[in-house]
Structure 1
Amino acid sequence: MAETKVIGGSQDVQSNNLQKSRISLSRRQTELIAGLSAGFSTTVVTHPLDLIKIRLQLSIADINGANNKRFGSILGILNKINEDAVANYNKARLKPQQTRRGLEALNNYKSTHLVRQFYRGITPNLVGNISAWGLYFTLYAEFKSMITTGSSTINYFSSSTLAGISTSLLTNPLWVLKTRILASSRNDSKAYKSITDGVISILRKEGILSFWRGTIPSMFSVFQGSLQFTFYDNFKNYTQKRYETDQLTTAQYIYISATSKIFSMSIMYPSQVVRSILQNYEGKSKDERTIRSAVKHLWSKEGIRGFYKGISANILRVVPATCITFVVYESVKNRLTQLEKEETP
């Protein structure tokens, strides 16, 4: 009996050691997993609003002035999405489906085709956001630990700026593909059919450097992220000190993240519009692909309002998106940290 207990105890020790080895994560791994989880959750929930925002940014007021009416352009975009969904639904009913039985059944519903239209371009958006947020949170934590200054505000701003520049340069090709796919309907003759089709088309017609169009305006967006993280960490530290706690509630994370995002976005939004225009310039001459030409085009066509096209849809998108991002990030990070502490003897 004694021998049996020893063997059982040995097995328990081995099992505990195996469990510890599975849960033990480095700080980098914790940041990466939390960032990836945040990017995935945010993209899936807010992709339809992202699609509407990009199409608004790329819209030009027509001759009849339809876009001058408040929300007129939003209704036009929604009507176009609905028309495309109906057209695809009618095509699906007329031709035999060469898909799995489950997909054949789904094709018989208009709602299926409507969802597909709203989630056009979800793949590059998912890949881009998951990669970007995973890289950003990881690099942000690394730079914060590397940079030593007497001011926490300077540390937050410089760390987030360096993380943003690095992430922007690495992921810009994905944003070019995402912008062009979301800007067009599946039924458009020149629309990219897939990521692979988009990559091949850009390489053949425009060259590899086209994947980094809009990089300079993206740098302005980096400063928006820097402002956001500076606001966020300062608000977070203030709230933690005020309530004397290291772990805030979900409601507090939502309030802090939403406030920091609205402040930073209001300051830097015009750079997003210019970036979308530059990334969508396909088949244009080099003289028409510059920041100056994009700004001149916006100003001559629509004035100052042109630089804030899509901001209403963007507010509806980024506020819940930011809240989801930071709540998921902080929750996953806190949970992983808590698991590590529970398993540490």
Structure 2
Amino acid sequence: MLYDTASTTKAWWRDPAVEFAAGSLGGFCAKFVEFPLDTVKVQLQTQAPRGGRGGSSLDAFHHIQSLVVREGPAVLYRGLPMPLVGTMVEMACLFATFGQVKSLLFGRRTEPLTTWEIASAGGVSGCFISFILTPIELIKCRMQVTTKARYKNTGDCIAQAFQRDGLRGFRTSIHRRDAQFPRFSTCGCFLVKGIVPTMWREIPGTASWFATYHVSLDYLRGDKADKKSDWDVIAAGALSGIAYNGAFYPADTVKSLVQTHPTHRRSMDVVKEVYALHGVGGFYRGFPPTILRAIPANAVLFYTYEEVRDFLSHVFQ
């Protein structure tokens, strides 16, 4: 058989490959589910709020209605190609990295990891994945908040981002600070513009995401430690999405504002400005659609991930 040699030699690539494939397909399915509400979330985050409020569910649905009436249903999926591919890469790398970090930090122990150990591995994985996410989300956010006339397509958005915030600007930011670039930082390069708030979100967020999923799944399985039902996975996935998005949403708002602003702004400047103008509520614009999308998206993600992983593990055993 095709995998006899790999099985007898305990191929080093087998577990990472399974995690990579399962995470990739999970991310693909989840992105289709969540993207329309993600578009609404980004637009609510980056527009001026009324009365300093963080936004309500009614605001979100009114915004969806106005978008569809004004530009058609396709507007809710504007900019999808880049984040779709990006999410597949992100989830593939995240699950593969999480597995490798667990092995490096804690070895291949037979006993279950503690919640703190899972969270630690998740945090390290989140730090790594931030460098992949930052340029992907910059393009996604810019496509989501602009009109049809601004960018012809995703490729045009990438070209304009590179032209405006490219590697030349990155070198300039390192070697000089003059009147032309009074607040220019290393985040000027579009590959890392918004990396700081992305890490604010991803390191603790990914830690809580993995920890919540594993704790919830263990609780729901109860005495059936070696078995898990589909509904256990779906419920645990939904809870992990709430934990990730609910606790660290302000960092996501700061990231969106940094990445969609036409000039180069420091993350702390954005934090101070939002708080001064709108108070705490300013950091929670677009929060309702975020939670609404997080529940089904993460349920679908983990369900797909577990199914694909179980299938591939059986194939490669």
Cα 1:303/1:332, change in 2 over 3 Å: same
Instruction: Provide the rounded CA distance (Å) in 2 between the counterparts of 1:137 and 1:180.
Output: 27
Instruction: Provide the rounded CA distance (Å) in 2 between the counterparts of 1:32 and 1:202.
Output: 29
Which structure: greater helix fraction?
Answer: 1
- Which secondary structure does the structure 1 equivalent of 2:106 belong to? coil
| Displacement of 1:155 | 2.1
Matched, 1:169 2:156: no
Unaligned runs of 5+ in 1: 1-16, 86-113
Contact 1:160 1:229 in 2 (8 A): yes
Report % sequence identity: 24
Contact 1:35 1:137 in 2 (8 A): yes
Structure possessing the higher radius of gyration over alpha carbons: 1
Q: How does 1:5-24 map to 2 (within 5 A)?
A: 17-18=1-2
Deviations 1:206-255 (A, max 9, x none): 32313311111111211111111112122323444x23242311111122
Contact 1:125 1:178 in 2 (8 A): yes
What is residue 254 of structure 1 aligned with on the other side?
234
- Which secondary structure does the structure 1 equivalent of 2:83 belong to? helix
Contact 1:131 1:171 in 2 (8 A): no
AA aligned to 2:296 is: P
Instruction: Provide the rounded CA distance (Å) in 2 between the counterparts of 1:154 and 1:67.
Output: 35
Instruction: Provide the rounded CA distance (Å) in 1 between the counterparts of 2:62 and 2:53.
Output: 10
What is residue 251 of structure 2 aligned with on the other side?
271
What is residue 198 of structure 1 aligned with on the other side?
157
Deviations 1:281-339 (A, max 9, x none): 11x2x4xx012221233223322111111110001101111101101001111122233
Deviations 1:82-140 (A, max 9, x none): 2122xxxxxxxxxxxxxxxxxxxxxxxxxxxx2x2121111011011011000000000
Which residue of the other structure, out of 62, 84, 98, is the alignment partner of 1:75? 62
Matched, 1:156 2:143: no
| Displacement of 1:152 | 2.1
Between Structure 1 and Structure 2, how many residues are aligned?
286
Contact 2:246 2:291 in 1 (8 A): no
AA aligned to 2:115 is: T
Instruction: Provide the rounded CA distance (Å) in 2 between the counterparts of 1:233 and 1:67.
Output: 34
Which residue of the other structure, out of 269, 279, 292, is the alignment partner of 1:293? 269
Matched, 1:221 2:179: no
What is residue 31 of structure 1 aligned with on the other side?
19
Greater RCO, CA 8 A, separation 6+: 2
Cα 1:335/1:304, change in 2 over 3 Å: same
AA aligned to 1:280 is: T
Which residue of the other structure, out of 256, 279, 282, is the alignment partner of 1:306? 282
Instruction: Provide the rounded CA distance (Å) in 1 between the counterparts of 2:52 and 2:274.
Output: 17
What is residue 30 of structure 2 aligned with on the other side?
42
Cα 1:66/1:156, change in 2 over 3 Å: closer
Instruction: Report the TM-score when normalising by structure 2.
Output: 0.82
Instruction: Provide the rounded CA distance (Å) in 2 between the counterparts of 1:164 and 1:82.
Output: 38
Q: How does 1:65-144 map to 2 (within 5 A)?
A: 70=56, 71-72=58-59, 74-85=61-72, 114=73, 116-144=74-102
| Displacement of 1:45 | 1.9
Cα 1:122/1:311, change in 2 over 3 Å: same
Instruction: Report the TM-score when normalising by structure 1.
Output: 0.76
Cα 1:196/1:332, change in 2 over 3 Å: same
Instruction: Provide the rounded CA distance (Å) in 1 between the counterparts of 2:162 and 2:242.
Output: 37
What is residue 56 of structure 1 aligned with on the other side?
44
Over aligned residues, Cα RMSD in angstroms?
A: 2.6
